[in-house]
Amino acid sequence: MSNAAAQSTASSPKTQSLIELVDEACAKYRERDCFIFEEAPITYGAIHDLSCRVANGLVEAGIEKGMRGAVFSPNDPWGFAATMGIIRAGAIWVPINPRNSLDDNAALLEKFGCDVLFYHSAFEAAVPTIKKVAPNIKQIVCIDREGAHGPELKAWADGFPATPPDIDYLPTDIVSIPMTGGTTGLPKAVALSNRNFDAILKGVASIQLKEGDPPPVNLAAAPMTHVGGRIIFTIMYQGGLSVILPQIDIPAVLDAVEKYKVTNLFLPPTAVYALLDQPDVKQRDLSSIKRFAYGSAPISIEKLKEALKLLGPVMVGGFGQTECPMLIAHLPAEEHFVDGKIASDERLSSVGRATPFSKLGILDENGTLLPPGEIGEIVVQGPMVMEGYFENPEATAETRVGEWHKTGDIGRIDDDGYLYIVDRKKDMIITGGFNVYSAEVENVVSTLPGIKAVVVIGVPDDKWGEAVKAVVQLDDGAKLDAKTILSKSKEKLGGVKAPKSVDFVDDFPRSANGKILKRDVRDQYWKDAGRRI
């Protein structure tokens, strides 16, 4: 976004800060339950008051606007209140994933200058390392009990008033700096502002809420350090209830859906597959579910159809990324069906159409907008697009073409406005001078019965430069062989795009969030090739 556009947005009287939006909900629904955790309800009023006490405690400890704070915890409502306290104090929330390595998390806190740390007692042993690597932390508080390195959160916070501190929140103030999904070295931090969160909360509500709908009951099992936390803010804005599980545990997810009549949940594809594989899933009462969102990684079309047959028109697709969360494109539940029947594989492979808050385009390598059907880089405009990479103007400039944000994904838009992600730009395979998009091949191979997950990569080939290879993980008990995969793929894709070989694996290397690390899979085949792609 240009400076002029950013200034215009910043001066808009309609833009509210994240804290203002949350406080409106807390005032309106003060006596309503905001969270259920370990079967105990917690009201909006309790969360509001604790976050105010935390913020005042931070101000008293010398935390000023623009400083940084982190919460090192599994999913926990009091950890979320601490996050709200950081933001309420005018500080910047640095999300860290408890499933990442301690060395990586400590390095992130040092790199981005963490000033305050809230930690769960489960990570007591990690604090000395963090203090050594990031010695400038001014305040350390233990969330759930008195810790060896800091006081217990509620006892500490009780010494401060439950009224909001006097902080002036501006639309372009940075609220959070989540990390992009780098797999080597330290990832970049994405600067999300009050302007961005205003768009996220209002945009999600405009998509989800219909006149007369009861408040949503959200299941928070995905990590609250990432999209799970942003979802909770959207649920609070709608006056809903979030049932918090410490982590994704599929039997516990099913139990919670039944017990609390969950209407909304989000799971990554691997967890969707695990849910479908539960032996008693058809005997469970899942009729309360209205919105079952899947995302963060491509989903198998066959598994999606299985979910649609089990649950009906409740599956919700879409496209977002850390740089522009949740609102790039949206595939509503009803658009998974056509004339009462499950839609075609083509439709199900789409991530939907532009949302009311986004404008989509496809650019060629010269920065020219392409017509429908042409393949190029997906670009987007909208108020949810990040302010930039935090303290990294060079990287920010690389993502901008005029008013467009470059997503780094390759795709196309059809005549009806549906967006299809063909590949990550860096994952394109060049074989014999032809471009092959691995995601397109993966979508086809994944439809074969018996395939649990597939990664398609280019591998060294003396004749073609790169040859297309499918690395496949089969469902338990599946008997699919390489010959069948190759022949079926060639029927659907033709000779250039179809895999030339297949390898089978028990599982894939994955990130702390469960995403398959395609680069690690590829590197196994290139490390001895004498060259790299």
CA angle (422, 423, 424) in 5-degree steps:
150
For residue 193, how many C-alpha atoms fall within 13 Å in the half-sphere facing its CB?
Answer: 19
3-class state of residue 315 by DSSP? strand
Residue 262, CA atoms < 13 Å, CB-side half-sphere: 28
Candidates 326, 323, 322; CA nearest to 386 is: 323
Residue with the bigger pLDDT between 495 and 7: it is: 495
Residue 255: pLDDT over 80: yes
Q: pLDDT at residue 6 above 70?
A: no
Binned at pLDDT 50, 70 and 90, residue 183 comes out as: very low
Which pTM was predicted? 0.82
What's the CA gap between 189 and 191, in Å, rounded? 6
Segment 359-375 shows an average pLDDT of 95
CA pair distance 167, 91, nearest whole angstrom: 10
**Structural fold of domain 432-526:** GMP Synthetase; Chain A, domain 3 (3.30.300)
Which of 521, 429, 528, 524 is CA-nearest to residue 472? 521
pLDDT value of residue 124? 95
> 292 pLDDT band (50/70/90 cuts)?
very high
CB 336 within 8 A of CB 299: no
**Confidence check: pLDDT of 511 > 80:** no
Q: Are 68 and 91 in contact (CB under 8 A)?
A: yes
Question: What percentage of the chain reaches a pLDDT higher than 90?
Answer: 72
Give the CATH superfamily of 197-424: ANL, N-terminal domain (3.40.50.12780)
pLDDT higher than 80, residue 10: no
Strand partners, 411: 376, 421
Domain limits, the chain? 18-169, 197-424, 432-526
Confidence of residue 184 (pLDDT cuts 50, 70, 90): very low
- Amino acid (one-letter) located at 129: T
Helix H or strand E encompassing 434: strand 434-437
Q: What is the pLDDT of residue 512?
A: 65
What is 18-169's CATH number, 3.40.50.12780, 3.40.50.300, 3.40.50.720, 3.40.50.620? 3.40.50.12780
- What pLDDT does residue 325 have? 93
Give the C-alpha separation, 343 to 515, whole Å. Answer: 27
Question: Does residue 62 carry a pLDDT above 60?
Answer: yes
C-alpha dist (Å) from residue 465 to 185, 287, 346, 502: 28, 52, 30, 18
- Please check whether residue 93 is in contact with residue 177, taking contact to mean a CB–CB distance below 8 angstroms: yes
Residue with the bigger pLDDT between 517 and 55: it is 55
Lowest average pLDDT, out of 87-96, 285-294, 359-368, 510-519, goes to 510-519
CA distance 80 to 70: 11
Same fold flag, 18-169 and 432-526? no
Mean pLDDT lowest for which of 83-87, 157-161, 311-315, 489-493? Answer: 489-493
